[in-house]
Amino acid sequence: MTPGPGDRFDHLLKGMKSRVNSLDSIVETEESRINIQESKGQLGESTNVDPRVESLDSIVKSLDSTALEEAIKEACKKPKLGVYSPLAAAMLRYKAITTPRYSMGSELRIVIEQALKEAYPQLYDEVQKRMKEGQS
């Protein structure tokens, strides 16, 4: 029996599957993060602050102006974000179905900007200040 046209690429697919399986063990999921935080809470450690917030606060203290300017320039050229969240998608689609003239994009912008402002107030203020200076 002769191999079909796709059979000669089976070794590539097998290699990719094994690579994905090895990456799956490395990738931190929201569920694993919650389990880690719960176990820290049981050990009496603080679970109030997301570790990403702490690390960004230290970045803000030693703000890299070049990186910030580059980020602002890129954001002005490509301001769209992509987010994978079936839960958020379902909630926003429900609101779009039940609310006349509802804009998912406007809602997301408001929610995301507010959450980022609360999580990273110093960076938020600095980015906002520099973006306003750039418009002048």
Domain ranges of the chain: 1-48, 50-136
Query: What is the C-alpha separation between 84 and 46, in angstroms, rounded?
Result: 29
Residue-wise pLDDT for 59-102, tens only, equals 556 788 899 999 999 999 999 999 999 999 999 999 999 999 99
Question: Residue range 96-115: average pLDDT?
Answer: 95
Supply the pLDDT for residue 64: 86
- In the chain, % of residues over pLDDT 90: 49
Q: 5 — phi, psi (to 5°)?
A: -60, -30
Per-residue pLDDT, 131: 92
Task: Give the percent of the chain with pLDDT over 70.
Answer: 54
Torsion angle (degrees, nearest 10) of CA 31, 42, 115, 119:
-120
pTM: 0.52
Rg, the chain, Cα only: 22
Indicate the length of the chain as a whole number. Answer: 136
Q: What is the pLDDT of residues 30-61, one digit of tens each?
A: 555 555 555 555 545 444 556 655 555 555 56
CA 119 – CA 110 distance, rounded (Å): 14
Q: Give the separation between CA 109 and CA 87, rounded to whole angstroms.
A: 17
Of the candidates 2, 134, 7, 3, which has an alpha carbon nearest to the alpha carbon of residue 76? 134
Q: Report the mean per-residue pLDDT for the chain.
A: 76
Q: How is residue 2 written in tokens?
A: 């002769």
pLDDT at 71: 93
pLDDT at 89: 95
Separation of alpha carbons 111 and 103, rounded Å: 13
Q: Where are the alpha helices (DSSP H) in 1-136?
A: 10-24, 30-42, 51-61, 65-77, 86-98, 104-119, 121-135
Instruction: Give me the pLDDT at residue 135, please.
Output: 77
